[in-house]
Structure 1
Amino acid sequence: MTERRILMIGGLIAVAVLVAGAAFLAFGRQGDDFAQCRSSNVAGGLDAFGTDFTLTNQDNQRVSDQQVFDRPSLLYFGYTFCPDICPMDVARNDAAVEILKEQGLDVQSVLITVDPRRDTPEVLADYTAMYGEGMIALTGGDEEIAAANKGWRNYYKAHDEEDQDYYLVDHMTNTYLVMPGNQTVEYFPNSLSPDDLAGRTACFVRAAS
């Protein structure tokens, strides 16, 4: 085979690969309304995140995931006795919600506790009162909370072996964007500012409308 023929065949293969790649990207994004908004890359995709649940809110009412996620929601897993990270993350999420409201976008902040023993509905009611109107906080039995955390792949561990009252709980600090119908579409690190979080959330909310 001549060198010229080898180069021609190689060129045709390269073109074929490029065409196939472009077609894959085009058709792969065709069914994803949020492709232009995504920045995360999760093995298995974000469709695997989330789960059905029935938990208890700060008003001591049993609510389902469908009732909670009736609008775009910034979902965070934390606890009210958390001394530092949780208050900053929840306040950041609340600030982002307020920014989005100023833009005419209806988004809410949701907290699912990783400390159901201490986070009773009464404690959660006092906690949510410190933040913007409309925040939802959820608790439940140990198994219910474990199942919800597992659904969003959230690691947590209570260090209560020696002290049953004043213990800390290790947990992840991601915030998940959950769309109506319990569809998780993105997660955000806690390093984002309120403005950045609001901007990235707004992209998804507008794309869904």
Structure 2
Amino acid sequence: MKKAYLFGGAAVVAVGVGLTAGLLLREDGGPFAPCRDNVIAGGGGTIGGDFTLVSETGETVTSDDVIDGPTLIYFGYTFCPDVCPYDAARNAEVVDLLDARGYDVTPVFVTIDPARDTPEVLAEYTDYLHPDMLGLTGSAEQVDAAARAYRAYYGRGPDVGEDGYLMNHSVFSYLVLPEHGFVEFYRGAPGVAGEGIESDAMAESMECYLSRA
């Protein structure tokens, strides 16, 4: 069952597609070559890397603690009015589709709004979306370091309502495997931030990687 928060208010501005798309130079070949939908040239650089954040239980965790199996990482925030809940719910559905096929994938939600997204707030949010979803926050510096490692764009957006604000951010989900690191990214759910990828197609693509890992 797809679960999602439906928030009122103005739509979040999701940007940074071109920013991320210009940073990865991927080589052909290797075990995952038949799986790759996003072959991007230009810019150089890598995606992924070490990070230290705070889990929704209040514990400090490293990337090694979090990525101890196939992991699907998304950068968003709980006050997001539309894009994040749809993307996170789509990711939760993908995880369930893969579980039915015998693959265990952990969905991870990293906030880009640590000022409001405390561990307690994240725990309530992720528990609603999926029992296995892990919420991560941290200091502004820790969050920024994690986002930079994954080339995830974010920044404060317009003020809305009393003492409220939106965040601008990219809408990619990153498939990371312990022995291989980052292997693929997926665009957001369709219909909210433009053209995106449905859960069935995303699960099919991820299964290709998981079966070859």
CA contact (8 A) 1:66 1:181 kept: no
- 8 Å Cα contact 2:52/2:62 also seen in 1: yes
Instruction: Give % identity.
Output: 42
The answer to which structure has the higher helix fraction is 1
Partner of 1:103: 101
Normalising by the residue count of structure 1, what TM-score does the alignment of the two structures yield? 0.80
In the superposition, relative to structure 1, how do residues 47 and 133 fare at CA in structure 2: closer, same or farther (>3 Å)? Answer: farther
Which digits, 9 at most, give the CA deviation of each residue in 1:1-56, with x for residues without a partner? xxxxxxxxxxxxxxxxxxxxxxxxxx952xx1101101112336997101211100
Change (3 A) 1:114 1:28: closer
**Amino acid in the other structure paired with 1:203:** C
Q: Which runs of at least 4 in structure 1 moved beyond 4 Å after TM superposition?
A: 44-47, 160-164
CA–CA separation in structure 2 for the residues paired with 1:82 and 1:43: 31
CA root-mean-square deviation? 2.1
| Count of matched residue pairs | 180
Q: Equivalent of 1:183, from 173, 181, 184?
A: 181
Q: 1:78 maps to what in 2? A: 76
Distance 1:148 1:52 in 2: 8
Q: 2:199 aligns with which of 194, 197, 205?
A: 194
The alignment partner of 1:173 has SS state of coil
Q: Within 5 A, what are the aligned runs for 1:27-176?
A: 29=29, 32-43=30-41, 48-159=46-157, 165-176=163-174
Partner Cα separation in structure 2 for residue 39 and residue 130 of structure 1: 31
Distance in 1 (alpha carbons) for counterparts of 2:79 and 2:203: 26
The farther-off stretch of 146-155 and 85-94 is 146-155
| Unaligned 5+ runs, structure 2 | 1-26, 189-195
Shift of 1:160: 6.3
Matches of 2:104 and 2:42, distance apart in 1 = 29
Retained in 1: the 8 A contact 2:159–2:166? no
State the secondary structure of the residue aligned to 1:86: helix
- Structure 1: segments with no counterpart, 5+ residues: 1-26
Matches within 5 A, 1:16-31: 29=29
The one-letter amino acid paired with 1:130 is: Y
Whether the 8 Å contact between 2:52 and 2:146 is mirrored in structure 1 is no
For the pair shown, which has the larger CA radius of gyration, 1 or 2? Answer: 1
User: How far is the alpha carbon of 1:178 from its aligned partner?
Assistant: 0.7
Closer, same or farther in 2 for the Cα pair 1:163/1:142, shift >3 Å? farther
TM-score between the two structures when normalised by the length of structure 2: 0.79
